[in-house]
């Protein structure tokens, strides 16, 4: 494949010297961009957009045309695996993702499809290959998945939830059933990520969006354990073992040491964790990714620049930091404020790498 022209992001993930702190944004291809909204309208629906390799490539490239990001991220959805398992994913305007079927019994679990990612999620691999070709080595491509626990929350609840009553009830009252579902998901996700890597993904992020809803013991038992299982499988395969993995648990700041031990090269942190504290705890063993509050992008460009400066100073000198938001960008953000954000990271971060 084409030689990578900008490997700053991949070097930072391995805590190798870089000339400045690399930057990308979660949901950087999204509704805050008018060109994205136009392309989604052209596609007809969000799922149709995900399943059209050319249009998925187009929206992946859109933020790179506006901003000098150091990585692209595959345009897809975390719920592709549960959809392939046969639950019938659909989206209702203003309500988010929903499933036509749920998994709440042994019979429901047994009824799930047996899937092979290369075949049943071929549209994702087609998108990865199309994007890699379009990138032409300019920046690396990130593949991704939802964590088994996060996928399970949607599969058991049937959609988004505020209290996670059904899925947490299953975890605590029927742990054998929950572990059966999580085991199935961990194996399916490992296969899915390996297929993305074979198709051309150069780094992987595991989005553990709802891990922070669990207790400390519950997090280790029902979330972290299964992400570690996925990473172990990838590291045991010669085709995938050299691809860096980022684990991002929203609300996981209290478990940083445990997360850092899961085998990932990088730990994403949300905006509720002080990055200096995080570096003091785990920064000698993993790269840190984050962690500006996404809502800061509603502030003035001057205030955004001040916040970027504070986060860079909080992390301090040296490599091992990928600048990102502490969660996905909010749809209503002014794209010009993203320009101020990216420019600030590019202009202010080199001083922290001068002796690297």
What would the pLDDT profile of 12-47 be if each residue is shown by its tens digit? 999 999 999 999 999 999 999 999 999 999 999 999
pLDDT of residue 336: 98
- 1 pLDDT higher than 60: no
Tokens of 98: 């929903």
Q: Is residue 355 predicted with pLDDT exceeding 70? A: no
Q: How confident is the model at residue 282 (pLDDT cuts 50, 70, 90)?
A: very high
Q: Per the annotation, does 39 bind a ligand? A: no
By the 8 A CB rule, do 308 and 345 touch?
Answer: yes
User: Is 37 in the active site?
Assistant: no
Three-class SS state of 222: helix
Residue 347 has pLDDT above 70, yes or no: yes
Mean pLDDT of 179-204: 98
- The pLDDT of 50-56, averaged and rounded, is 97
209 is in an annotated binding site: yes
The DSSP letter of residue 209 is T
11, 15, 70, 77: the catalytic one is: 77
Instruction: Tell me how crowded residue 317 is: count the other CB atoms within 10 A of its CB.
Output: 12
Token pair listed for 120: 């049943």
pLDDT over 70 (residue 343)? yes
Q: Residue 83 has which token pair?
A: 């959809």
- How many DSSP H helices and E strands does the chain contain? 17, 9
CA gap 288, 278 in Å, rounded: 8
- pLDDT band per the 50, 70, 90 thresholds, residue 96: confident
- pLDDT value of position 76: 97
Question: Please, which residues have CB within 8 angstroms of residue 225's CB and are 6 or more apart in sequence?
Answer: none
Helices (H), 158-210: 165-173, 175-199
> Cβ–Cβ contacts within 10 Å for residue 354, how many?
9
Which residue out of 27, 37, 129, 303 is catalytically annotated? 27
Contacts of 283 (CB under 8 A, 6+ apart): 315, 320
Task: Please determine, for residue 159, whether its predicted confidence score (pLDDT) is greater than 70.
Answer: yes
> What average pLDDT does this structure show over 189-213?
98
Residue 95 clears pLDDT 80, i.e. is over it:
no
Q: Tell whether 31 is in a known binding site.
A: yes
Given 37, 40, 66, 129, the catalytic residue: 40
| Confidence tier at 3 by pLDDT (50, 70, 90) | confident
- The CATH classification number of 8-352 equals 3.20.20.210
Catalytic residue among 67, 154, 226, 352: 154
Rg (CA), the chain: 19
Residue 356: pLDDT over 60: no
- Name all contacts of 223-226 with Cβ < 8 Å and 24+ positions apart: 223/147, 223/148, 223/149, 223/150, 223/249, 224/249, 224/255, 224/258, 224/259, 224/262, 226/147, 226/148, 226/149, 226/182, 226/183, 226/185, 226/186
Residue 154 among known ligand-binding residues: yes
- pLDDT for 155 equals 97
Q: Is the pLDDT at 290 greater than 70, yes or no?
A: yes
Q: How far apart are the C-alpha atoms of 256 and 75, rounded to whole Å?
A: 28
Give residue-wise pLDDT tens across range 248-279: 999 999 999 999 999 999 999 999 999 999 99
40 is annotated as an active-site residue: yes
198 is annotated as an active-site residue: no
Q: Element (H or E) spanning 131, and its range?
A: helix 122-135
Tell me whether residue 241 is exposed, middle or buried, using C-beta atoms within 10 angstroms of its C-beta: 0 to 12, 13 to 18, 19 or more.
Answer: exposed
Taking the complete model, does pTM exceed 0.75, yes or no? Answer: yes
Confidence of residue 312 (pLDDT cuts 50, 70, 90): very high
Provide the pLDDT for residue 300: 98
pLDDT, mean of residues 237-250: 97
């Amino acid at each position: 494949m084409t030689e990578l022209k900008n490997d700053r992001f991949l070097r930072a993930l391995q805590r190798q010297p870089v000339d400045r702190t690399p930057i990308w944004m979660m949901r950087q291809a999204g509704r805050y961009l008018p060109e994205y909204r136009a392309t989604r309208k052209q596609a007809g629906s969000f799922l149709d957009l995900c399943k059209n390799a050319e249009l998925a490539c187009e929206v992946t490239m859109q933020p790179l045309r506006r901003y000098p990001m150091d990585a692209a991220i595959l345009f897809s959805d975390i719920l592709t695996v549960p959809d392939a398992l046969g639950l019938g994913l659909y989206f209702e305007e203003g309500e988010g993702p929903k499933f036509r079927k749920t998994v709440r019994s042994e019979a429901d679990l047994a009824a799930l499809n047996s899937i092979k990612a290369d075949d049943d999620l071929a549209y994702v691999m087609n998108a990865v290959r199309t994007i890699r070709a379009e990138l032409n080595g300019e920046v690396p491509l990130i593949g991704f998945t939802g964590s088994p626990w996060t996928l399970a929350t949607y599969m058991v609840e049937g959609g988004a939830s505020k209290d996670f009553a059904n899925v947490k009830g299953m975890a605590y009252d029927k742990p054998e059933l929950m572990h059966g579902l999580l085991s199935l998901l961990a194996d399916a996700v490992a296969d899915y990520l390996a297929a993305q890597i074979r198709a051309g993904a150069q780094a992987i992020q595991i989005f553990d969006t709802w891990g922070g809803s669990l207790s400390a013991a519950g997090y280790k038992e029902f979330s972290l354990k299964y992400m570690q299982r996925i990473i172990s499988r990838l590291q045991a395969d010669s085709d995938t073992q050299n691809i860096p993995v980022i684990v991002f648990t929203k609300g996981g700041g209290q478990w940083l040491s445990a997360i850092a031990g899961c085998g990932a090269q990088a730990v994403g942190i949300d905006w509720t964790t002080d990055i200096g504290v995080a570096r003091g705890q785990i920064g000698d063993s993993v790269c840190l990714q984050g962690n500006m509050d996404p809502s800061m992008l509603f502030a003035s460009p001057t205030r955004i620049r001040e916040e970027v400066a504070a986060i860079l100073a909080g992390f301090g000198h040296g490599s091992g930091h990928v600048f990102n938001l502490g969660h996905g960008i909010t749809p209503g953000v002014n794209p010009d404020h993203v320009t101020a954000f990216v420019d600030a990271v590019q202009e202010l971060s080199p001083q922290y790498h001068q002796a690297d």
